[in-house]
């Protein structure tokens, strides 16, 4: 019985936090109305959350009826994730670092040339932790496929076989999360554009002077395959034999050829497409001239990512918080 009571209280606590995350401030009565939890329990949970510094008291506000009452707000600075993004810009790789609050709002950021060895990576992360000692978690976006904390395929093979979990555990005890850049861009773009993750989605991220990364998402679940190599487009004909697209025109034309393959294989509800240059008009034109795609019965909606930074922030936020009351999805 005691364990059941603890479970119910924990679930109620999550409901209260979810309401406070979704609203700037609430009266206790608002929480009762939104959750169906009794006022006695809500007041008890509020006292507990105040003691933890998870929430804070807001200003007195006038209710519709009666005297002014205390409002409550989420302490958005209680958790401050450190987001590390390895980003390809015109064939050069940079480490872009962002400190954000629990809502994903930027508190600080900087950028430097990306490290190319495990030791330099550890030094770079240690420096960022020194810059932002208030960080409470670390999330890494990497141009590579990751399986059980080990990179299995990456940007120009630079990070192949890096044991990321071990490297991070050697320098910090903070919770660490890592995921492929195309996956995070796809999920972040869906959140940014208000698209449901509970559908079949193919995401494509192809920076200039680089190979495309592919995301396969079905009902909020990433399809990873053996060694997390599912959808690794650089092993397809046209990439494996011809290498990196050297011009924007070649990049667009190859994407127009590969999109019908993924459309036939996965019949997605939508495609999410991103690059480091404006790609929408040229790719839509190339797809309109693609005879195979026109003959296929599945005609997915196509969305383009115009704000890579915001999509990455939302994707990394999802990586940390998707099973918590703080999910943006």
Confidence of residue 1 (pLDDT cuts 50, 70, 90): low
Fold match between domain 2-74 and domain 81-180: no
Structure tokens at 8: 């119910």
CATH class, domain 81-180, is alpha beta
Region for residue 221 given its phi and psi (left: phi exceeds 0; alpha: psi -120 to 50; beta: otherwise): beta
Higher-pLDDT residue of 7 and 5 is 7
pLDDT tens per residue across span 266-309: 999 999 999 999 999 999 999 999 999 999 999 999 999 999 99
Where does 2-74 sit in CATH, by number? 1.10.10.10
What is the model's pLDDT at position 238? 86
Could you tell me which residue, 47 or 2, shows the higher pLDDT? 47
Domain locations in the chain as residue ranges: 2-74, 81-180, 184-309
Q: How many CB atoms lie within 10 A of CB 249?
A: 11
Share of the chain above pLDDT 70, in %: 98
pTM of the predicted structure, to 2 decimals? 0.94
For residue 129, the model assigns a pLDDT of: 98
> How far apart are alpha carbons 86 and 145 in whole angstroms?
13
Give the helix ranges, DSSP H, for the chain. Answer: 2-22, 28-35, 39-51, 118-131, 164-169, 181-192, 248-266, 280-288, 291-295, 308-321
CA 8 from centre of chain: 30
What pLDDT score does 2 carry? Answer: 61
Fold of the domain spanning 184-309:
Nucleotidyltransferase; domain 5 (3.30.420)
62, burial (CB in 10 Å: exposed 0-12, middle 13-18, buried 19+): exposed
């Amino acid at each position: 019985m005691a364990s059941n009571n603890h479970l119910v209280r924990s679930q109620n606590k999550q409901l209260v936090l979810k309401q406070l995350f979704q609203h700037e401030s609430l009266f206790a009565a608002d929480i009762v109305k939104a959750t169906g939890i009794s006022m006695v329990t809500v007041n008890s949970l509020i006292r507990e959350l105040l003691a933890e510094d998870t929430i804070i008291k807001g200003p007195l506000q006038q209710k519709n009826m009666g005297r002014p009452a205390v409002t409550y707000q989420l302490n958005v600075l209680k958790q401050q994730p450190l987001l590390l993004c390895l980003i390809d810009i015109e064939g050069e790789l940079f480490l872009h670092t962002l400190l954000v609050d629990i809502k994903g709002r930027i508190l600080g950021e900087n950028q430097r040339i990306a490290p190319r060895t495990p030791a330099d990576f550890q030094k770079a992360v240690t420096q960022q932790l020194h810059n932002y000692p208030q960080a409470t978690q670390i999330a890494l976006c990497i141009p590579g496929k990751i399986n059980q904390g080990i990179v299995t395929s990456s940007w120009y093979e630079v990070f192949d076989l890096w044991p990321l979990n071990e490297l991070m555990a050697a320098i910090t005890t903070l919770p660490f999360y890592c995921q492929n850049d195309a996956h995070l861009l796809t999920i972040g773009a869906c959140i940014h554009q208000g698209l449901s993750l509970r559908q079949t989605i193919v995401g494509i991220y192809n920076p200039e002077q680089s190979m495309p990364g592919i995301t396969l998402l079905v009902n909020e679940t990433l399809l990873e395959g053996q060694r997390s190599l599912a959808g690794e487009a650089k092993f397809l004909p046209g990439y494996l034999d011809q290498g990196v697209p050297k011009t924007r025109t070649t990049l667009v034309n190859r994407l127009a050829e590969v999109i019908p393959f993924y459309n036939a294989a996965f019949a997605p509800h939508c495609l999410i497409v991103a690059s480091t240059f404006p790609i929408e008009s040229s790719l839509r034109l190339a797809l309109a001239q693609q005879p195979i795609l026109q003959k296929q019965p599945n005609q997915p909606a196509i969305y383009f990512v115009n704000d890579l930074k915001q999509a990455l922030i939302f994707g990394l936020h999802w990586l940390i918080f998707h099973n918590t009351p703080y999910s943006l999805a």
